[in-house]
Chains A and B, each alone.
Chain A
Amino acid sequence: MLEEHHVDLPADPESVSRLKPGSVVYLNGIVYTARERVYDFILNRGGELPAGLADVSNVNFHCSPAAAARDDGSFHIGGVTATASFRFSRYMADWLDRSGARILIGKGGMPADDYRNILAPRGTVYLTTVGYGTGALLGRGVRGVETVYWLREFGIAQAMWLFRVRDFGPFLVDSDLEGNSLFAEQGELVNRNLDRIYRGLRKPTLLRYGETDDRTDELI
């Protein structure tokens, strides 16, 4: 049985420090979405974050919701799913400093070095969504849209959505405040088996330029 945590938001340092790789997390409070368009606007183009964001929420969800505007101006949120986080690696140090985010949620984690060098030193942990398709469960956890920023400018997928959430999850803790990573640990275990499954299979007739045979390599 996996350990389970319920965290009220904004998350205080103690509840963040209790989160250990492989435990299950549900959130209550407000989370916001932000990805490349928001990062670029704030960090490279002189954009300003909404005032007092960190007091409302310190949880950045790498997500584009399946959302639609209703005629009365409210929003219909259907499914909610994370997008792959490694693409945002280069923004993270500055973004965490500016936003004060202490929990990142996304798909697939960040490179293991980022945890040691960027997230853990700033008191931030990373939670991954489960199976990468629990859109309905997470959608059910979203109780409403608190507000949305830059919808016109960036579109539905890239706008900053503030969601009111209740029993929002499940998520799995990937990285903790010591910089440990569940993905890295599991990846190493999987790597140990790889020589066995390739045994006896010779190299292809035509190689690809720059191809290596190091199976511990990651694509991210």
Chain B
Amino acid sequence: MISGETIEQAGYEIMKRAAIDIPGDYLSGIRDAARKEAEPLSGFVLKTMVKNYETATEDRRPMCADTGLPRYYVKVGDEARFSGGFTGIEHALRSATARATRDVPLRPNRVHPLWRTEYNNNVGINAPEIEWSFEPSAGWLDITTVHKGGLFGTDYRMLFPGDGIDGIRRFLLDTLVAFGKRGLCCQPAIVGVGIGGSKDTCMQLGKQAACLRIVGDRNPDPKIAELELELMEAGNGIGMGPMGFVGSSMVVDLHIEVGFTHTGGMPVSVHTFCLSSRRATARILADGRITYRTDPQWFTPYYRRETVDWPMDGLEAVS
């Protein structure tokens, strides 16, 4: 039985790790971009960022003071048992958020959207968001936190099947150029593209693609994997680098996630994670032990399942 205290402790620890320690996959991605960057201003920015990550880890201070809108993704194994039920998990994560906001400290960004009032603890109405998913034949509880800035670099557009891949490419360029000017979206970053679903799932998938998959990870569908690489190259071919300076570093990696959609439409969302792409995951095992990692492993084969039964038994999609 997993206790509420254990969940709170895990939530608190990943808040701290996400804010302070840059994930290894992302750091290698940025080092790689810095090596390839030929423009002096863009190169200076990338080298300064690497120095900043090192300073954050040495000093145990947040790598970026805009600790974003802290939020959680929880994956519950079918066999996991926890005291206090699902609302107990939510209570523990709200408590962890408030405690970490004071101790790390995180910036208390969260305010009421109309009255601008707050409790200085990043907790409020519908905040922090907690998204749920489930996993068959598992006894653990995975909790991931993501700290992502909230103002720029995200857009949604209803395209149509006839717009094709060119339409997606154009919309991606539109978003990257528009928000990339002056570096509003804090590029280079991991870019997530959501394709399909309804408007809200399209947004959700794109965001999860940006925030919950690591640099170097490819979509299991080989044709989508190819499209990921093609669109990444398009983004890096804009001629823009960090802060909107001339350069070649725009996209550290690009991830696509899809959802079955309305037969008449092709909704697309684009999300840029931060130059400091911050995430951390805790796995709480059935006996209460906690292990930590930086790869959320959110998109499991079960999560991407295609039809009624899972695993699929010899079924093939028709057009």
Contact = CB atoms under 8 A, between A and B. Distances in A.
Interface residues of A, number: 58
Nearest to A196: B239
Interface in B250-276: 274-276
B56 A136 contact: yes
A139 B241 CA distance: 25
Contact of B49 (A134, A155, A189, A205): A134
Contacts of B109: 64, 157
Contacts of B157: 204, 208
Contact of B46 (A108, A131, A202, A208): A131
Contact of A66 (B67, B179, B239): B67
A197 B244 contact: no
Contact of A186 (B51, B53, B152, B246): B246
B107 interface: yes
Interface string A61-85: 0011111100000001011110110
A68 B102 CA distance: 6
Interface string A172-192: 100000000001001101100
Given A197-B239, A201-B170, A133 B61 contact: no
Contacts of B234: 197
A156 interface: yes
A164 to B, nearest CB: 17
Contact of A81 (B65, B102, B240, B246): B65
B160 A206 contact: yes
B110 to A, nearest CB: 10
Q: B120, B186, B242, B243: which has the most chain A beta carbons within 10 Å?
A: B243
Contacts of A84: 151-152, 184
Interface stretch (A46-54, A89-97, A115-123, A212-220): A212-220
A136 B62 contact: yes
A170 interface: yes
Given A2-B40, A79-B67, A156-B108, A130 B48 contact: yes
Interface stretch (B89-97, B161-169, B197-205, B300-308): B161-169
A88 B82 CA distance: 48
Contact of A205 (B59, B64, B159, B239): B159
A194 interface: yes
B244 A155 contact: no
A183 B244 contact: yes
B166 A81 contact: no
Interface residues of B, number: 68
A140 interface: yes
Given A66-B105, A81-B65, A139-B65, A201 B159 contact: no
Which one of B59, B66, B276 has the greatest number of beta carbons of chain A within 10 Å? B66
Nearest to A192: B239
Given A156-B107, A219-B184, A201 B48 contact: no
B182 A109 contact: yes
Interface string A125-168: 00010111111111110000000000000011100000000000
B177 A194 contact: yes
B65 A131 contact: no
A139 B59 contact: yes
B237 interface: yes
Contacts of A133: 49, 52, 63-64, 66, 186, 274-276
9 contacts: A2-B44, A135-B63, A135-B276, A136-B64, A137-B55, A157-B109, A190-B245, A197-B234, A197-B237
Given A197-B173, A201-B169, 17 more contacts: A1-B40, A66-B105, A68-B105, A76-B105, A78-B65, A79-B64, A80-B65, A108-B184, A132-B64, A134-B49, A136-B63, A136-B64, A139-B61, A155-B108, A155-B120, A156-B107, A205-B160
